[in-house]
Amino acid sequence: MLILGIDPGFAIVGFGLVEADRGRQRLVQCGAITTPAGEPLPARLRQIADDMDLLLAQFQPQAMAVEELFFNNNITTGIGVAQARGVLLLAAERRGVPIFEYTPSQVKQAVVGYGKAEKRQVMDMTRRLLNLSAVPKPDDAADAVAIALCHARSFTSRLQSPDAARPGSGRYEVRKQVR
Amino acid sequence: MLILGIDPGFAIVGFGLVEADRGRQRLVQCGAITTPAGEPLPARLRQIADDMDLLLAQFQPQAMAVEELFFNNNITTGIGVAQARGVLLLAAERRGVPIFEYTPSQVKQAVVGYGKAEKRQVMDMTRRLLNLSAVPKPDDAADAVAIALCHARSFTSRLQSPDAARPGSGRYEVRKQVR
């Protein structure tokens, strides 16, 4: 199964494509979509949407994994990120790609085995699990790879768990805050 | 000039179409796009995007006016609204409709003539300026009509002002918070 991990952003969207096969994971591709700061907002959203569309068309992932959005740092930056995230989710939805959402601590738990792991530990485990010589660059791409890896590892365990027969049990769930 | 006013939302998106011609404004249509609370987030975003597309195709407005987003009340609700707003802006951008953004006080100033007017005053002036027998329903539609009216009245004055010759002077400007 090919998983597209996404680290949503407005100036930069990280992406990571991870192939998951019988408990093993392999990095297929990673990188970032960037938009120029000087451009008007709608043009930047369109560029994100178009580039995301190209990614989905080229790689045809079977799932998209994306981090849940929190506005703990900068609320005004968060508005831009959330607008971009809407556009990213729409692109996947229009292509029928199932979307899965994880909290930062779920990513840490799945990748490091400890929900309060530090970012550095997540990066290091991501590199080791995928047998890479270095942590992917930029940081946004590395984060996206970790999210894809989280889905690969969570999904695999779920498939092996007793409730695996329930189809779509890992599908995106509407959270209270977005109703 | 036909102006589409939008009150962005996630459960409900208000819209109002106002025709502006030589200092006079006429209400063409208003209403709301709604999405069911039980649906997954991506499906709701898609419905908003598709309905917005239909609106744009049917009425072919020459401008879209949308309120600036603030997260003063509920940040978590705001994430959903911002995601929907991204999708709405993308739809207009993809059809080449110029997007204009106004703050709540700009809307009040343009409609009532006083930037700190109360909502009730804005609704009443909207009704009177458009020669309607009642304030449009639901509230989201009325808000969207007021935003369209704001653009009609701001744009008209701008066209009559000395810097009117500068094309696109009223175009959407990227704000600091969304860079």
ipTM: 0.84
Which of left, alpha, beta for B145 (phi over 0: left; psi -120 to 50: alpha)? alpha
Cα A125 to chain center, whole Å? 16
- Among A24-33, A40-49, A67-76, B48-57, the least confident range: A67-76
Interface with B, mutate which of A10, A39, A45 (most B CBs under 10 A): A45
In chain B, residues 73-112 whose CB comes closer than 8 Å to chain A? 75-80, 82-87, 89-90, 92-94, 99
pLDDT at A157: 61
pLDDT, tens digit, 9 for 90 and up, residues B125-169: 999 999 999 999 999 999 999 999 999 998 766 555 444 333 333
Contact predicate B4/B59, CB 8 Å: yes
Q: How many helices and strands, by DSSP H and E, does chain B display?
A: 5, 5
A162 interface with B at CB cutoff 8 Å: no
Domains of chain B in sequence order: 1-154 (3.30.420.10)
DSSP B8-44: --SSEEEEEEEEEETTEEEEEEEEEEE--TTS-HHHH
Q: What's the pLDDT at A173?
A: 34
State the amino acid at position A61 in one-letter form. P
Closest by Cα among B13, B1, B10 to B143: B13
**CA angle in degrees (0–180, nearest 5) for A129-A132-A138:** 105
Q: What is the pTM of this model?
A: 0.86
Catalytic positions of A are 7, 67, 140
Residues A45-57 pLDDT 10s: 999 999 999 999 9
Whether B170 and B158 have beta carbons less than 8 Å apart is answered as yes
What is chain B's Cα-based Rg? Answer: 16
Interval B50-102: pLDDT, tens:
999 999 999 999 999 999 887 666 677 788 899 999 999 999 999 999 999 99
Helix and strand numbers (H, E) in chain A are 5, 5
Instruction: Supply the Cα-derived Rg of chain A in whole angstroms.
Output: 16
Between chains, do B90 and A94 touch, taking CB under 8 Å as contact? no
B164 touching A (Cβ < 8 Å): no
Inter-axis angle of helices B139-160 and B104-112, nearest 10: 70
